[in-house]
Amino acid sequence: MKLTCETKALADSLSLVASVVPTRSPRPILSNLKLVASDGTLEILATDLEVAIRRVLPDVTVEEPGEVLLPAAQASNITREAPAQSISLSTEDQTCTIAYTGATYDLPCDNPEDFPDIPTFNEKNAVEVEAAELKKMIGRTKFAAASEQARFALNGILFALDGDSLRLVATDGRRLALAEGKATNKANISADPIMPTKAMDLLDRLMEDPEEQVQVELAENQVLAQSRAGTVCTRLVEGHFPNYEEVIPKDSDKTLKIAGTKLLSAIRRAALITTDESRSIRFALQKDALTVNTQTLEGRRASVEADSVSYEGEPLKIAFNPDFFSEMLRVIGDEEVEVRFLDSTSAALARVGSDYQYVVMPVQLQES
């Protein structure tokens, strides 16, 4: 194999693919990236046997096609630190040479034939989703998924497909995010696999053209998603996803309307004095007014008035973990958010437009 390509493009691609490589594995071969050069393109592959990625790098000058295994950490570090605009890779026997102006690295390599096979994409059971819409849906849900490994089904994002209707849902048991969109589903497939958050994050990063149609193949025990920049293949998360529709409040009678950035600003300022032991903020709501209060165990207090508030309903005081609201508001931006409440002990429901809902549980309200 012998090729030359633009350094930054290669460094960015290696960094993305290397994020799949496991930090520890009984199979040392998985610490490698597989590079396959042919016809002016370079494919870079990695897998941890649960999630796999194939990144396609175009505009590569390939003098000799071939394939090689490179240690992921070293290859990524070398290209990231290279100051030259172009970089070359060449192989001879079991050695790969990475070179640019003023520097040469020789890396011993494993046999590429020993690398696990990565499934190829099959359009038979594929649906299409516009990249811009899918990116927005992923961004609005992935932060709400559980991070604790023992939560099983909650460690992923539900990909609920019914006809042309698509829902992404994530929850950690304390908050729930639901984003709705459209899919082109010519095969009229209905499915609700749970995809690992790691795989959804990789797909998000592979969607470089917002106008392209991303294809998602739903197989029996895995999902493959393909954009022009590459493919992500993932095993499904085991377990049963909670009945999320039962979690969404139906009887809330108090409504707050405010721009997302204004609510985020008030929460962030009020939360500046919170601690790990006193990680809560309190909404004090009354006619067209919202004050966000904080009181810590050490006696620190804060009171922040939010701007441009519309509130209808009886006065209410309700406390939340500020992070749960802030993480949602950061992805909403300046769109108007409508938050509905019932009382100080019931879940609040935030809505943005007609295609996004976010449920968050309150924390125990401590009276001063």
- What's the pLDDT at 368? 47
For residue range 14-73, what is the model confidence (pLDDT) as tens digits? Answer: 999 999 999 888 899 999 999 999 999 999 999 999 999 999 999 999 999 999 999 999
What is the rounded CA–CA span in Å between residue 335 and residue 353?
A: 8
Which of 93, 115, 95 shows the shortest CA–CA distance to 104? Answer: 95
Q: What is the pTM (predicted TM-score) of this model?
A: 0.93
Three-class DSSP category at 50: coil
- What's the pLDDT at 223? 95
Same fold: 2-114 with 248-360: yes
Which of 306, 218, 299 shows the shortest CA–CA distance to 270? Answer: 306
- What's the pLDDT at 174? 94
Cα 222 versus chain centre, distance: 18
> Superfamily assignment of 248-360 in CATH?
DNA Polymerase III, subunit A, domain 2 (3.10.150.10)
Please, what is the Cα angle at 142 between 280 and 57, to 5 degrees? 140
- What's the pLDDT at 120? 86
Topology (CATH) of 123-244? DNA Polymerase III; Chain A, domain 2 (3.10.150)
Domain boundaries, the chain: 2-114, 123-244, 248-360
Residue ranges of the chain with pLDDT lower than 50?
Answer: 368
Tell me how crowded residue 23 is: count the other CB atoms within 10 A of its CB. Answer: 7
Domain 2-114 carries which CATH code? 3.10.150.10
- What's the pLDDT at 64? 97
